[in-house]
């Protein structure tokens, strides 16, 4: 039997995320410790909900990795909490994986000013959703991910529909079954987190689920691109003392050398972690390591194999 897709006029109270949670009844009469225990108990259910969506998440990772490999971008679209979580994930990719800031982007109702201030009215505008995604000129190489716990935010749905018409692969992330956003996208990731401790406050379990899924999408894609070696964050920026120390530790672990050995390897590689790893493990010169990394698209393991093949 086909799923029934709710129309825009359907009651918000019909959604699972909007239902009152029987486990948090009389929350306002509880002690601080009791409140914390109730929230913690509900939060413990989120990982299981995400686990049920792993096959859909894996498919999305493959789409994103393929798109980025072929010169495309990952573009998140969201409003409110969903938009802020999207902005966080997008903004953390450059320092974590040394990627260009244009590689992973976010489109949010209200723009950057909405990161620190609620701009609820913009969420209801389909026209604004279309206008904002048009600014990014989505194309066939791009993957556009719409995020909405309710699955019915007009701004996000309109942006996803436009991106799909433009030829982008589109993905919906929702916390409710059979929603307009799911219907609008090529592929859907449904994480059914159920009623919130505070009814309708989807910044709680639903927001946590969204953050977990976006962590998987961006990290999974970057791992597939080879920007992680083993489980080490080798493509990190070194713009402060903490990150410089982290680079030394990563080289120590990757090469199984002493701290002094790691510092020497980095110095020879002009403080480029992937270059230091390729040089040390293959005996390549710095320029040979740079060429191997460039040829492999920055995929560290492939660069090592290529440099060894040229010995």
Greater pLDDT, 238 or 99: 99
Greater pLDDT, 116 or 56: 56
Span 256-274, mean pLDDT? 95
Average pLDDT score over the chain: 92
Q: How far apart are the first and last CA of the chain?
A: 61
Whether residues 252 and 292 share a domain: the answer is: yes
Q: Give pLDDT, residue 7.
A: 45
The catalytic position among 42, 123, 196, 210 is 123
Q: Give pLDDT, residue 295.
A: 93
Number of domains present in the structure of the chain: 2
Confidence of residue 3 (pLDDT cuts 50, 70, 90): very low
Residues near 167 by Cβ (< 8 Å), separated by ≥ 6?
138, 139, 140
Domain that holds residue 24: 12-224
Span 137-145, mean pLDDT? 98
pTM: 0.90
Q: Give pLDDT, residue 123.
A: 83
Whether residues 138 and 56 share a domain: the answer is: yes
Residue 252 lies in a domain: yes
CATH classification of the domain holding 263: 1.10.8.1080
Span 216-225, mean pLDDT? 97
Q: Give backbone dihedrals phi and psi of 86, rounded to 5 degrees, phi first.
A: -60, -45
Q: Give pLDDT, residue 121.
A: 61
Which is it for strands 74-78 and 187-190: parallel, antiparallel or unpaired?
unpaired
Span 72-93, mean pLDDT? 96
Residue 269 lies in a domain: yes
Span 220-242, mean pLDDT? 91
Greater pLDDT, 2 or 130: 130
Whether residues 122 and 160 share a domain: the answer is: yes
**Which H helix or E strand runs over 171?**
strand 169-174
Residue 20 lies in a domain: yes
34 part of the active site = no
Whether residues 139 and 171 share a domain: the answer is: yes
Q: At residue 252, does pLDDT exceed 60?
A: yes
Residue 5 lies in a domain: no
Confidence of residue 212 (pLDDT cuts 50, 70, 90): very high
Whether residues 64 and 123 share a domain: the answer is: yes
Closest C-alpha among 168, 301, 147, 295 to residue 224: 301
Whether residues 206 and 284 share a domain: the answer is: no
The catalytic position among 92, 126, 192, 305 is 92
What DSSP designation does 112 have? G
Render pLDDT for 143-162 as a digit per residue (tens, 0 to 9): 999 999 999 999 999 999 99
Q: Give pLDDT, residue 110.
A: 83
Whether residues 112 and 217 share a domain: the answer is: yes
> Collapsing DSSP states into helix, strand and coil, what is residue 107?
strand
Whether residues 110 and 251 share a domain: the answer is: no
Instruction: Enter the tokens of residue 226.
Output: 């080879």
127 part of the active site = no
Q: At residue 119, does pLDDT exceed 80?
A: no
Q: Report CA-CA distances (Å) from 169 to 11, 50, 89, 91, 106.
A: 30, 22, 19, 22, 16
Whether residues 167 and 285 share a domain: the answer is: no
Closest C-alpha among 176, 79, 185 to residue 123: 79
Q: At residue 50, does pLDDT exceed 90?
A: yes
């Amino acid at each position: 039997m086909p799923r029934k897709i709710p129309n825009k006029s359907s009651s918000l109270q019909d959604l699972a995320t909007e239902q009152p949670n029987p486990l948090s009844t009389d929350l306002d009469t509880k002690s601080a410790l009791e409140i914390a225990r109730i929230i913690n108990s509900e939060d413990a259910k989120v990982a299981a909900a995400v686990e049920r969506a792993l096959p859909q998440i894996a498919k999305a990772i493959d789409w994103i990795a393929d798109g980025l490999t072929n010169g495309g971008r990952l573009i998140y679209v969201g409003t409110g909490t969903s938009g802020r979580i999207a902005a966080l994930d997008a903004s953390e990719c450059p320092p974590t994986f040394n990627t260009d800031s244009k590689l992973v982007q976010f489109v949010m109702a209200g723009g950057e000013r909405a990161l620190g201030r609620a701009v609820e009215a913009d969420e209801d505008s389909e026209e604004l959703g279309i206008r904002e995604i048009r600014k990014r000129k989505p194309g066939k190489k791009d993957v556009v991910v719409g995020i909405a716990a309710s699955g019915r935010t007009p701004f996000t749905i309109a942006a996803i529909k436009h991106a799909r018409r433009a030829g982008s692969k589109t993905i919906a992330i929702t916390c409710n079954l059979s929603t307009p956003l799911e219907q609008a996208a090529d592929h859907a990731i449904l994480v059914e987190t159920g009623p919130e401790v505070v009814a309708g406050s989807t910044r709680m379990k639903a927001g946590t689920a969204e953050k977990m899924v976006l962590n998987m999408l961006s990290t999974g894609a970057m791992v597939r691109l080879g920007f992680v070696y083993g489980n080490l964050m080798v493509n990190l920026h070194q713009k402060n003392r903490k990150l410089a120390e982290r680079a030394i530790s990563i080289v120590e672990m990757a090469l199984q050398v002493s701290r002094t050995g790691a510092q020497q390897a980095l110095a020879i590689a002009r403080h480029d972690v992937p270059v230091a790893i390729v040089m040390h493990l293959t005996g390549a010169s710095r320029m040979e390591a740079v060429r191997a990394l460039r040829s492999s698209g920055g995929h560290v393991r492939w660069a090592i194999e290529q440099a060894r093949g040229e010995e």
